[in-house]
Amino acid sequence: MKKSKIILIIAIVVILAIIAIFAYSIVSELGQENKLNEEMNEISTIIASNDYTEEEINKRLDERVTDGDYGKVENAAKTYLKDVIKLNIELSQIVNNGELSTMLTSNNYQEDGPEFTKTKEYISSTTQRLEEMKKEYEEYMSTEKVMSYIEKENVDEYYVELYKTIMGESSYEEISSSIDQLIDVLNKSNNIIDFLIENKGSWEIQDDMIVFSTNEQIEEYNNLIAQLSA
């Protein structure tokens, strides 16, 4: 009887130990998932605010707050975001480039006119790069490209689905539309510069204003300017 009781006690202790380990494992897994979701939500907020430097965001994306299979999901998500943010930062630099905002000013007309060699080169190279970026964004926003990052991690389907949830839906159409609008501004600006080149002997800058020889030229110039906001 004593032997049976000892065996029973040992069996109960073993069962309780297994339950404790199992419970700890579940709590630990939930903690990892919560930590991962919290981390990615914070990063998403930072990216959406567009208030970060390349150094700051890359430092955050290089950090890892989880391990195991959750760490693999985190690594896949952050590696993908780091690659895409390179494009975001480049696009932001183009938008905030001083040449974009000053090429149709009297100062630029004086400095680069009447041939506008630098301005034409800037418009051409920037437009070409934006067209290339559209294709790069399209590739990065494709399901195949997004999933390629988690496929490299070789994790179970549960973690693949978790990765999908974290990454959300693609917003390529919105990005593509924004780039198209910028290209449209460059094309319309190019039309204005071409007009000034074609009529280079018929205009000058007086008191920081462009003055044309004829009313027809003034009207055509003003129409081209108006098209910028159309």
pLDDT digits (tens, 9 = 90+) for 58-82: 999 999 999 889 999 999 999 999 9
**Beta carbons of 77 and 163 less than 8 angstroms apart:** yes
Predicted TM-score (pTM) above 0.95:
no
pLDDT digits (tens, 9 = 90+) for 120-178: 999 999 999 999 999 999 999 999 999 999 999 999 999 999 999 998 876 788 889 99
Q: State yes or no: pLDDT of 116 exceeds 90.
A: yes
**Beta carbons of 85 and 167 less than 8 angstroms apart:** no
- The CA-atom distances, in angstroms, between 14 and each of 3, 132, 201 are 16, 63, 97
Provide the pLDDT for residue 184. Answer: 94
User: Residue 189 contacts by C-beta under 8 Å, 6 or more apart in sequence?
Assistant: 103, 104, 123, 228
Provide the pLDDT for residue 4. Answer: 52
Q: Residue 182 corresponds to which tokens in the numbers above?
A: 């910028």
**Beta carbons of 192 and 229 less than 8 angstroms apart:** no
Provide the pLDDT for residue 22. Answer: 40
Q: Residue 190 corresponds to which tokens in the numbers above?
A: 């190019």
